[in-house]
């Protein structure tokens, strides 16, 4: 089960847009439920949005779980790198899990198995993974590879007309 994103369309997301989209997620979370015991960030991508969400929801207890399912831009079998303190979070009841993106839903599925009663929310969601989370802020197309501000290198780029094929521009 591998998914290769090396030929995706890249979409950089600046800090300002990412922060706006994460606050939009916080608003959706508040509309759905006004209190959680704590937040569990899915490392690494969920760490930054979890900090923003924790501030916006005034939550001080933040845990992390780490599941690796990507090697560069190829998705493979998920591996649990760090679990959570089950004495603290139990089965996830009244806990909020945050990630930056749900893509295929593989990582969310692993976390859902670990924390079946948790609420899982992501800032961005591709169609294939939307059903595996409870809330998300921004839907994105399957073929997009999001370049998050902490992952992207700032450098000049060529005009689209020099690098794109006609099919790239038709969407």
Domain spans, the chain: 6-69+76-152
For residue 169, pLDDT beyond 70: no
**Catalytic-labelled residue, pool 99, 134, 168, 171:** 99
Residue 128 burial (C-beta neighbours within 10 Å; 0-12, 13-18, 19+): middle
- Measured distance CA(144)–CA(104) in Å, rounded: 13
- Using one digit for the tens of pLDDT, what is the confidence trace for 67-114? 887 665 566 678 888 889 999 999 999 999 999 999 999 999 999 999
* 99 is annotated as an active-site residue: yes
Single out the residue of 155, 122, 125 nearest to residue 140, CA to CA: 125
**Catalytic-labelled residue, pool 103, 134, 151, 168:** 103
**Catalytic-labelled residue, pool 4, 100, 151, 168:** 100
- Using one digit for the tens of pLDDT, what is the confidence trace for 106-151? 999 999 999 999 999 999 999 999 999 999 999 999 999 999 998 8
Query: Model pTM?
Result: 0.84
- Using one digit for the tens of pLDDT, what is the confidence trace for 4-15? 555 578 899 999
- Measured distance CA(88)–CA(63) in Å, rounded: 9
* Parallel/antiparallel/unpaired status of strands 135-139 and 144-147: unpaired
- Owner of token pair 């899982």: 120
Choose which CATH entry (3.40.50.300, 3.40.50.150, 3.30.365.10, 3.40.50.2020) describes domain 6-69+76-152: 3.40.50.2020
User: Prior bond to 44 cis, omega within 30?
Assistant: yes
Which residues lie across from 35 on neighbouring strands? Answer: none
């Amino acid at each position: 089960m591998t998914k290769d994103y090396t030929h995706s369309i890249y979409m950089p997301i600046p800090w300002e847009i990412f922060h706006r989209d994460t606050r939009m997620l916080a608003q959706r979370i508040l509309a759905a439920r006004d209190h959680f015991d704590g937040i569990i960030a899915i490392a690494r991508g969920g760490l930054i949005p979890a900090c923003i969400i924790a501030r916006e929801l005034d939550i001080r207890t933040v845990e992390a779980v780490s599941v690796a399912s990507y090697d560069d831009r190829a998705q493979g079998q998920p591996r649990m790198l760090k679990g959570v303190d089950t004495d603290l979070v139990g089965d996830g009841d009244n806990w909020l899990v945050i990630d930056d993106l749900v893509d295929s839903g593989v990582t969310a599925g692993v976390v859902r198995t670990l924390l079946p009663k948790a609420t899982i929310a992501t800032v961005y969601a591709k169609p294939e993974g939307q059903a595996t989370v409870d809330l998300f802020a921004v839907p994105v197309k399957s073929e997009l590879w999001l370049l998050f501000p902490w992952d992207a290198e700032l450098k000049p780029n060529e005009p689209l007309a020099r690098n794109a094929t006609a099919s790239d521009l038709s969407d």
